Amino acid sequence: MINFKRIIILLILIIIYININSVQAKIQNKTIASVANKIITSHDLQSEMKLIFILTKQSSKIDQKNLQKIAFQSLVGKLIRTQAIEEKDNIIFNEKDLENELNKVAINLKLSTKDLKNIFYQNNLDYSLLIDKITIDLKWNSLIFDIYKNKVTVNQNEINKQLKEIKSKQYANEYLISEILTDVVDINNVNDKIKEIKIKIKNGGFENTAIEISTASSAQQGGNLGWLKESEISTKYKNLIEKTKIGDITDPIILP
């Protein structure tokens, strides 16, 4: 039996169906930027804006200028990751993970994968853009793991301890979690950065703030990571989550 114990970030699960073409001016396709040997065109930017509209339930509250900025940053990040992936041979990922991620996107939007595809079709957007986005993220994760796998220390005793605790329970807690990951911040400016983010969240909401400033791949989903079993969360984070009231935001977690 699964006990849905708490929701850390309370998300409003409202799907807003929009014809995105009605809010975007038709623009001539032209090159607007380049990353290494890859270019970003105005068509790429328009498609990325549509993708963000579809994947993010609250994006209708973002003005056109900010949406363009967010879409442009997303495209640059994607091209940087693509460039790094292409420079490394034989980067593989589990095809099942791709299927799971596509299903997760649909579930988060309270849709079937068929309905999700239809929304892409209705907005003249190729569904393969979503597949490519998730594929790049999965390959990027594989690349990072390959680079750092020899530096990872596994505490087998701690793992065995947690497994025993989980097996002894008659139910497992799950948490609906969202995140905001920021750029590197100078140690002397951490408190100011935290205050700035909290003000943004208070004024614009957690999802919109995640879309605007988060550097995590979850940003386009408003930071939403979906439901996570407690066995999937490290003890450090789980302890912090358990102390947080439903709908509240955890204290910031400083990463090295």
User: Using one digit for the tens of pLDDT, what is the confidence trace for 12-33?
Assistant: 222 333 344 444 444 467 888 8
The fold adopted by the segment(s) 156-242 is Chitinase A; domain 3 (3.10.50)
Please state which of the ranges 144-148, 156-160, 194-198 shows the lowest mean pLDDT: 156-160
pLDDT tens, 157-183? Answer: 877 877 777 677 666 788 888 888 887
Q: Cα separation of 172 and 4, whole Å?
A: 8
Whether residue 237 has pLDDT greater than 90: no
DSSP line for 95-130 = HHHHHHHHHHHHHHTT--HHHHHHHHHHTT--THHH
Question: What length is written for the chain?
Answer: 256
Given this model, what pLDDT does residue 131 score?
93
Confidence band, pLDDT 50/70/90 cuts, at residue 59: low
Share of the chain above pLDDT 70, in %: 84
Provide the residue ranges of all domains of the chain, joining segments of one domain with +.
Answer: 14-151, 156-242
List all residues 6 or more positions away from 175 whose beta carbon is below 8 Å from its beta carbon: 5, 6, 7, 8, 227, 228, 230, 233, 241
Please state which of the ranges 57-66, 153-162, 228-237 shows the lowest mean pLDDT: 57-66
Confidence band, pLDDT 50/70/90 cuts, at residue 132: very high
Q: What is the CATH number of domain 14-151?
A: 1.10.4030.10
What are the tokens at 11? 């998300």
Name the DSSP class of 39. E
Given this model, what pLDDT does residue 125 score?
92
CB 109 within 8 A of CB 59: no
Given this model, what pLDDT does residue 117 score?
92
- Buried b / exposed e over 176-194, threshold 16 CB at 10 Å, is bbbbbebeeeeeeeeeeee
- Tell the residue number behind the tokens 């920021």, with chain if given: 182
List all residues 6 or more positions away from 162 whose beta carbon is below 8 Å from its beta carbon: 231, 235
- The answer, as to whether pTM is greater than 0.75, is no
Confidence band, pLDDT 50/70/90 cuts, at residue 62: low
Given this model, what pLDDT does residue 248 score?
87
The candidate with the shortest Cα–Cα distance to 227, out of 5, 21, 48, is 5
CB atoms within 10 A of CB 64: 11
Given this model, what pLDDT does residue 26 score?
46
